[in-house]
Every structure is written in C-alpha cells, then in structure tokens.
C-alpha cells in the first residue's frame, strides 16, 4: 500500500533537538554531559505553581476549557500587562495556547493565506521558517547587516522589493539575545502600519532583559499581535502553556481555528499558570543566576576566539562566531559533544546561509554547568 508524504513535511530538522537527543543518549550511557544546547531553564516551575497543579489533581477533574482559555488565567495575564508594562489589555483579547508554538500556528493560519509573504529575521528561531513553510506561506528572511535587530529601514527595503503581508520579530531575540531599542521598536511598528504589514511580536524572552525594562509592542497600538509563553522566565517549558494578545477582529478567527486544532490548552497547566505571576521574587533569583552565567560567557568566549555576534541584552543565549576554529558548525557541534561532552547548538538552525560559522550556547543552566563547559571548551580548543 502506498504511503503519502506531503511536500509540506519536508521542513529542515531542528538541530538543537537532534543535539539534545544525542546528548541524552550519551548521558544515559554514563557520560558526564553538560548541555548548553537547549533554551530550557534548569529550575523547576515555582512552588506556588506546582502546588496549584497538585491541588487541581487532588480535586480529580481535569477537562476541556473554553478554546480561548480559563477566565481566571486570561484575567491574570491582563493584570500582568497592567502591572508590569502599564498597558491596559482586555481579557477578551487574550487567547491561551498550548505553548507559544501553538500561538504561531494560530497566528499564521488566522492572518495569512498560502503564498503570502511574511518577513522574519536571520539569524532567527527556526520554527518560524519551518511553520510558515509547512503552511505554504513564504518566509522572507531579512539579514540584520550587523545591527543585531530589525529596523524600519530594513523592513521597508524588503517591502519595496516585493510587498509583504506580515512581519514577525522577537525582542529579546533567539539566538542572539539582542533587544530592539524602544525608539527603533516604535519606528518599526509605525513603518509596518504605514505599509499595511501585519505585526507579530514574539515576546517569549520578556522579563529576561539585563540592562533595562521590557517594552511590549502592545504599548504601540492595539493592531499588533503579541505571542508569549510561561516556558522561559517562568520555568514552565514542559507544561506547554502560552498566550496571545490579539487585535479584536482576530479573536474570533483564532478561537474558531483553536477549537478544531487544539480544543483547548491543558486545563492543569492553565490552573497552575494562573499563579505564576505571584512568583516574581523566586524567579528574579533564577534570573540573577542567568546574569552571572552571562558574565562568565561574556568574558570567556572572546578569549577563546569565539567573539559574540551581538550583545547578550536579554534571554539566555550567546551566539558566537566560530570561524576561527571551523567553517562547519554542525561538525563542530558533533565533535564538541563526542570529544568534550559539551552540547551546544549549531548556527545552521538559525541561519541556513551563514550559520556554518556560528554556534549558540545557552546559559539557562547552573553556574557549575557553565563553568565546567567553559573549562572543557578551553582545553579542547
């Protein structure tokens, strides 16, 4: 019997996950692996979050919720925007999602049709490109030309070449950690609005800025879509819970699609996430450890001939140039893991053209792990 395989399934692999799988295999075989490959906090979810989940489990009933999420969680997210950003958001504009990944699926499906052109940055998170490709939407990659972040001028140039339907950017960015300055963010959103380009702001690394306060794109108007998640700052990766803040006219389209694709995000995770905003004191301690790890890498990597491609303004990644040592980051990653027992992500995940010259190191783990990885890397190089 023939087995059909779609063209849309022919997306590139996510090399970070392949590295993680090999690291886990070696670890299971008894090797002392240190992983700086995946952007996953080593801390568990805060105690108040886990206690809320335990209480919900003890109650015995975990089921479907409204497709847009529990009212208590949507209200808590709206309160977060008021308290942290001084931005008023109606809970009715918030959609709770199965991680930010579902948010991207829903946004792309609700906003764009096959053949539409959507701008993303390079280097950038590979799932953007892969999800767009799987949906038949053209990803237009905009090189940052050494600036580290997307600007209005770069977006306008891409739009002049051939009109765009949308633009997606992240600040802080993955893999570089670069943050779009407030004035540049305002110019970027204004330019997109003037050109009729729909704006999606990925704010999953918000609250992980090291030099200033976060600015949400929602402060620039209610016609932008913001996607966020409890995975990074809130240490809840495996809970698969995120959210979207939508322009009013997109709420019902997203709800209709979510009803069929997901029914709802997991109720257990929703109940737990509603308490996450109360754990700031604990989470700021975790962030202080990231700050210390960041300082270690900032000092050590250039000395090892691995200069940073952009300042690590936020998030928990160092994206560095390895061309002094190799012109094949995939081979570099394989040998680093096999010979040095340090896992890191090849730049080809984030830039299919120039990524062979770059590696991404995550500093979301413990200080001991980062220090050990640097010692091993120094000896190996």
pLDDT at 126: 93
Whether domain 7-44+280-380 has CATH 3.40.190.10: the reply is no
pLDDT at 368: 93
What is the CATH code of the structural domain delimited by 47-278? 3.40.640.10
Nearest to 104, CA basis, from 126, 75, 82: 126
pLDDT at 258: 98
pLDDT at 36: 93
Centroid of chain to Cα 63: 28
**What are the structural domain ranges in the chain?**
7-44+280-380, 47-278
Low-confidence ranges of the chain (pLDDT < 70): none
Q: What pTM value is reported for the model?
A: 0.94
């Amino acid at each position: 019997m023939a087995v059909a395989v779609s063209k849309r399934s022919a997306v590139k692999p996510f090399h970070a996950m392949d590295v993680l799988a090999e690291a886990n295999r070696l670890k299971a075989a008894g090797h002392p692996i240190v992983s700086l490959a995946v952007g996953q906090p080593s801390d568990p979810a805060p105690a108040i979050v886990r206690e809320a989940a335990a209480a919900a489990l003890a109650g015995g009933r975990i089921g479907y919720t409204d497709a847009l999420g529990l009212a208590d969680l949507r209200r808590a997210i709206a309160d977060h925007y008021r308290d942290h950003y001084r931005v008023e958001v109606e809970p009715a504009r918030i959609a709770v999602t199965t991680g930010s990944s579902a948010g991207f699926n829903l946004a792309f499906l609700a906003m764009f049709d096959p053949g539409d052109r959507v701008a993303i940055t390079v280097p950038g998170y590979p799932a953007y490109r892969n999800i767009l490709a799987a949906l038949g939407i053209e990803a237009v990659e905009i090189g940052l030309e050494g600036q580290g972040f997307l600007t209005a001028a770069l977006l306008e140039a891409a739009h002049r070449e051939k009109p765009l339907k949308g633009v997606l950017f992240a600040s802080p960015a993955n893999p570089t950690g670069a943050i779009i300055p407030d004035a540049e963010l305002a110019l970027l959103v204004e330019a997109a609005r003037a050109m009729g380009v729909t704006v999606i702001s990925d704010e999953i690394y918000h609250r992980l800025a090291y030099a200033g306060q976060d600015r949400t794109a929602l402060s620039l108007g209610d016609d932008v879509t913001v996607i966020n998640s409890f995975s990074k700052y809130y240490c809840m990766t495996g809970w698969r819970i995120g959210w979207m803040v939508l322009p009013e006219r997109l709420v019902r389209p997203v709800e209709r699609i979510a009803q069929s694709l997901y029914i709802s995000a997991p109720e257990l995770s929703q109940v737990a996430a509603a308490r996450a905003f109360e754990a700031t004191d604990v989470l700021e301690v975790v962030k202080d450890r990231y700050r210390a790890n960041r300082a270690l890498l900032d000092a050590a990597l250039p000395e090892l001939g691995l200069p940073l491609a952009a300042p690590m303004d936020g998030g928990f990644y160092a994206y560095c140039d390895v061309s002094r040592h190799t012109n094949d980051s995939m081979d570099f990653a394989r040998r680093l893991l096999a010979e040095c027992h340090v896992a890191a992500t090849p730049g080809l995940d984030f830039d299919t053209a120039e990524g062979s010259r770059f590696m991404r190191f995550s500093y979301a783990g413990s200080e001991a792990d980062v220090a050990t990885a640097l010692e091993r890397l120094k000896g190996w190089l």
